[in-house]
Amino acid sequence: MVFWRVKPLDKILETAEKKSLKRQLGPIQLTLLGIGAVIGTGIFVLTAEAGQKAGPGMMLAFVIAAIVCGLAALAYSEIASMIPVSGSAYTYSYGVFGELIAWVVGWALGLEYGIGAAVVCVGWSGYMNGLLAANGYGLPEALRTGLYAGGTFNLLAFLIGLAVTVLLVIGTSKSARVNAVLVAIKIVALTVFIFLAVPAVKSGNFEPFLPGGWGSPLGGVGVLGAAASIFFAYVGFDAVSTAAEETKNPNRNIPIGLIGSLAVCTIFYLLVGYGAVGSVGAQPMLGANGLPLDPGTAEMTAACASSQALVCSHEPLAHVLRLLGHTSIGDWIGIAAVLALPSVILMMMFGQTRIFFTMSRDGLLPDVLSKVHPKFHTPHVITVITGLVVSFCGALFPVGKLADTSNSGTLLAFAMVSLGVLILRKQQPDRPRPFRTPLAWVVCPLAVAGCLLLFVNLSMTAKLVFALWAVIGLAIYALYGYKRSQLADSKAG
């Protein structure tokens, strides 16, 4: 079938050389980019949502999500070292499964990176609004949150999205240098939180440990529901692979950036989660049926109206320290989040633009999207378009729903990369593999199973949005990409 035409790996590498980006990033910059993309809204904001779904059991959710991401990272490292070009899972799928699957994956990555960036914009605005209100400069309620979160237009989320867009247009190396400073701020903030919260842990705060159980058939609650949401806290390490074309010695440095950033972030997450749950408690607000209320609903908002519970906070880490009596330090944690979260927006948008840049270069999207700025050497057209979409989504939608929707695209991409490693092991066993996934025939199937488990436990809203997004994507491919593809005149692969 012509739909299954496959682009040979050598052809992918050849295409990248014709219209390539400047190689300027080293292993330390890549690792910092990975940490910058990973540590952000997931731990600074979604800790409260995970607590609402699973209570103290959110600790298990962190572990489950970390295991799934770790397995996927090993698969990513092998295939990214073999195909060191932009495009991440989209490019890999093109060379393994063919054009149709590659399109579906690339389109799904739009949910991961684009919506993911919007999530962080909303998370950043929560901390910034809190700081402004604490100092007597609070914005009107209508401009503090979006239409579906009790307000009208989240002004600060919109503005931070635009600011990061400008930074990305200016240049990758400049963005990376700024990111290194922001990563340092986040690491310091989380370290301070750990040193203050962990000593205050009380065993009683872990009981009951599983108030929401392990989950429900419909997903969205319990430990597995929390894992499906908190999975967002680890998303971003794969953005390192989208920088392959801009990396010096990518065969060596891409695996270092992927695995190194994930390892550092996992350690911090477990310590922060333990400190937050154990120091002030994380029991969820329960509904009439005895199960945790769904975050982002009117019932949850009403239950939190006069509550100081961790699960009700829009700035949970700062809130924990204030409850522990460290008011000024809590404010500084809020300031650190305000300064550092833009680095996550930057990397999410960076990943999004590089995916669509590559799809445009392959002819599946209009050629104008792969234009490179003559002065800044960045794909400025797609960067501006992405920035506007991210900014408006952040201004209109609530953080929890956006995060779950972003995860749906990520889980598909991770599963396809893991399958791709196994297929290439069979199809092209002699192709050089600077990094080989250990125990690949065990690791990769487990990664796929883990992705399926988390996808099933996403909220129903996220699953429906994912399905609608997929239908729209297939329609665009049928009407445009299928005919305009560079492989359109090739024989079926």
By the 8 A CB rule, do 432 and 79 touch? no
* Region 370-396 average pLDDT: 84
**The model's pTM:** 0.81
Confidence class of residue 191 from pLDDT cuts 50, 70 and 90?
Answer: very high
- pLDDT score recorded for residue 492: 45
pLDDT digit string (tens) for 238-284? 667 666 666 677 667 777 777 788 888 888 888 998 898 888 888 88
Task: Please state, rounded to an integer, the average pLDDT across all residues of the chain.
Answer: 80
Share of the chain above pLDDT 90, in %: 9
Confidence class of residue 447 from pLDDT cuts 50, 70 and 90?
Answer: very high
Could you tell me the two tokens for 461? 């809203």
pLDDT digit string (tens) for 278-305? 888 888 877 777 777 777 666 777 777 7
* Region 316-332 average pLDDT: 88
Alpha helices in 281-379 (DSSP H): 298-303, 316-323, 327-340, 342-361
> How far apart, in whole angstroms, are the C-alpha atoms of residue 12 and residue 23?
17
Confidence class of residue 493 from pLDDT cuts 50, 70 and 90?
Answer: very low
Q: Is the pLDDT of residue 448 over 90?
A: yes
- pLDDT score recorded for residue 482: 82
Specify the DSSP class assigned to residue 374: T
* Region 224-249 average pLDDT: 74
pLDDT digit string (tens) for 86-141? 556 787 788 788 888 888 888 888 877 888 888 888 888 888 888 888 777 878 87
Q: Is 344 exposed, middle or buried (0-12, 13-18, 19+ CB in 10 A)?
A: buried
| Of residues 205 and 14, more confidently modeled | 205
Q: Is the pLDDT of residue 196 over 90?
A: yes
Q: For each of the domains in the chain, give its residue range(s) and CATH number, in order of start.
A: 29-484 (1.20.1740.10)
> How far apart, in whole angstroms, are the C-alpha atoms of residue 429 and residue 420?
13
* Region 416-424 average pLDDT: 89
Phi, psi of 140 (to 5 degrees): -60, 145
Could you tell me the two tokens for 356? 């669509």
* Region 174-190 average pLDDT: 74
Alpha helices in 19-57 (DSSP H): 27-38, 41-44, 46-54
Which distant-in-sequence residues (6+ apart) come within 8 Å of 464 by Cβ?
Answer: none
| Of residues 387 and 244, more confidently modeled | 387
Start-to-end CA span in the chain (Å) = 8
> How far apart, in whole angstroms, are the C-alpha atoms of residue 395 and residue 152?
8
